[in-house]
Chain A
Amino acid sequence: MVLVGDPCPPPPAPLIIQLCLDGSSILVGSTDTCPPPPPPPSVLLDIADSLIPDAGIGTKDPYFMAGCVLEENPAGCYTNADGDVANILDADRFIYHAGINLLHRRLEGTGARQGATIPLSMDLVPQDVRRAWRDGWTGSGVNILIYDVFGSSYWNLYGSVRGYMHTASALSIAPAANYYALESDFVPGGDISVRRMSDDTGAIQYIETRIEVVKWLDVVSVRNLPSIDLFDPNNPMAVLNPRTGKPYPIRSAELREIQQEKLNTDILRYLTGRSYTYPDIDLRDAVYVQPAGNRKRPISHPGEISGLMLDYLEDSITHRILVVGALNRYAQHDRAEIPEYSNYPGNGTVYQANFLVEYGGSPFAGDGSVVLCGGWRISTCPAHYRSSGSHAGTEYAAARVAGFAALVRQKFPDLNGAQTARILLDTATYEGLACYPNCATSQYGQGRVDILDALSPIGKLQ
């Protein structure tokens, strides 16, 4: 307020009462006016924490760089044992030492955010998953334990492609989750072996050390556990005599005892909190994702671990178990169906109620094959260092569902494991399946994950 050379200011204006045209306000006073038309709604939502909020369809996500470009991103490039700058995946889809190195960096939960190269095919990732990423739901902050064969030993990293592809499948859905590896060197009746992983150069850190700091895991994606085929597949109430190989009948109580004993081993002890080998691995609230198996039979078959789990484990655990069968492609892309190899629910409500189907193919482009070789160029890789990849399996389908569970747990961190599993099941759909709309629950269970529905409100808002 500046008054220079001005006469006395006018006295206060008389009282004016205004009635706004929209009837919204009665204004009294000398200076008030009706409010102007409201501007467009202000943006209150701050999504600064989202990883890729502005990426549009077709954007090349930095998590999935096809390979390092030395000039642009030297930190994302690694050299192989021969001193060459190595992409994780070359034109022949061979993964060199650097690829394994990257995998294990990624398994320590540091790779994706730092622009590590992950050799996945963006073309294979469905649009609904990409949409979730664009809105920031990438699994960030969620801990996923991959329980599989990583082909490690105390002195050399052989680089089993199995654990690699398992992890990559989950990574193709939840690229920013924290991944932890638990080596499974399955010995029937034995315990999990967690082995340190190192390569010849010592560049790979010890997974064992990392696992010691894991206090809480949100999702566990499990390898295909061997079936308990002590039983004659034609007569499930019979046990094969180990000497003669011929079946002999047992009582049903004995059968249950054998089955339950099998559930008291391996990863399942972690699931129930009964393992003492590595007490810091806490799976007591994890969503437990179990491959249905690749034996072309129902999980209700007495030899199938996944069916036995649902039969015998207590409700507090079965409520967070998801058994996953395979599809021959993403249902979002084209009409998908169960491939020949995949197990299916079969008859029985409990098997069908916990069963999902998902794409079980390789996350890699082309024919999906990869070859790992620790510390060597593929051309000179000794045979015993080489590990070829299988192209499909319910293990990869389950890993993808584990990735979906991670997206849900990121968006709703207050959910517990059972609620997360329930939501994935309740929002699952048959849309996109070849059988739609007449899909049998004995074949497809609850259908495939609909991630957009799973991330959306369900029922009435209160």
Chain B
Amino acid sequence: MDFAFSEDQLMLRDSTRDLVKENFALSANDEDKDRSLNPETLKSLKDLGYLGICTPNESGGAGFDTLSLVIVLEEIASYDASAALLVSGMNSLSIGGLLPHSDQNVVRDYLSRVSNGDLIGAVAINESDDSYSHHANRTRASLRGNNYVLNGFKAHVLDAELADFFIVSARTGDDEGEISLFILDKNTPGLKIESIPRMMGNNAAAIGNIRLDDCSVPLLNLVGKEGGGLASAQTVLQLNQLGLAAIAVGISAGSLRESIDYSKVRTQFDQPLCEFEAIQFMLADMSTSIDAARLLVYKAAVAFDQHSDYAELICAAKLFASETAFKNVHHANQIFGGYGYIKEYAVERLFREQLFTELFAQNNDTLRLHISKRLLG
């Protein structure tokens, strides 16, 4: 078992770390208030190829593996979780939704334009909080002449207000599993984005609901075969889960970094906080749990790359990394005391961002069901 990164991965990690620290870190708090990514941050993500980091070179992407993606997501999320969410969402959409069907001209075109930063896409699959699976799909698509007509509702779509197009799932048959995926331009008549004014954190990932009211979509915008979208939708969800796991590790790592720095400079009872055993134990636990979560995330990413059985590992990685992240943001906020409650400090934002990783892309109790179901056969 070799735990070393390749040279490419090391270079990618280091250059991402420098970029994020120098260019993203300062604007992350403002992004949360402004409810949109800093234009410079967005430009960097597009120009430097982060939005298509896993897309193969021949499809216009950077051609890195999924392990590289989670390394990058962790680095970005440790300073700017909303930016990491965009990178995660875009790569999930490309790799899970578009790449398997890139033999279709329309799909290939979207894939390359997403990968070179020309277009932003968003995944509109989720319909309710409790979506244990995509089977409960209430959005319908029916064939009418040379078009599909879509009606329905999609809930809590990330980057809805930023996206140029959406990958939308809809039921195309009577059977629960007959799901098809469609590419819908944001200007499609009948498609309405309902913004969600505010959520607890990650506000720059401008989330919204989408209402589909007789949306007419050309046949060519069907991704894959009619009724054959379930596997792709599942992969998109799994990659989103893996992304959230990596983002949770990043939030933990950011909490530890801030805690170490602060505990060295903050003095109470005539000594720096870091000299108190209680604080030292917190830092030790944080570091230990981060390493454990990180290894699980890496293992899940490698399993995905090697096409081995990854579904359960991804669930486990998200479950463990996100719950671990709570302990870490909690410790960090205890160390910061009253200052952690003030918006000037990064740990205030990290605390709000962490919960997102537990609740989204299926909440952790749903993941527990998936894992135990597999264990019990």
Partners in one complex: no
